[in-house]
Amino acid sequence: MEEILFWGVFRSIIKFVGATFRWIYGSIWRTIFGKPKFTFKEYLYGPKSPNYYDKLAHGGNNLIIGFIVILLMVFALIKLFE
């Protein structure tokens, strides 16, 4: 039971990191090109649309990007303290 709780919390943290990175990047990109911005909640959970069908993709993207960002941060810290 504790392992399930740990992995659920771990996945949530990685998704949050991925959504945060996507939100920062997307906000800068959309500001530069004058496009409408999405809210952080939309990056985390998907667009606010009643007929939106691809909620798994946002969670998957957030997991992948969050994992990559955390991995790069760990490698940078290892290099820094060598």
The residues, any chain, with a CB within 8 Å of residue 23's CB and separated by 6 or more, are 38, 40, 43, 44
Q: Is the pLDDT of residue 23 over 80?
A: yes
Domain boundary assignment for the chain: 28-82
**Of 55 and 13, which is predicted with more confidence?**
13
In one-letter notation, the amino acid at residue 10 is F
Q: Which tens digit of pLDDT belongs to each residue from 71-82?
A: 999 999 999 998
38-70 residue pLDDT tens: 899 988 888 777 666 666 777 789 999 999 999
> Is the pTM value of this prediction over 0.85?
no
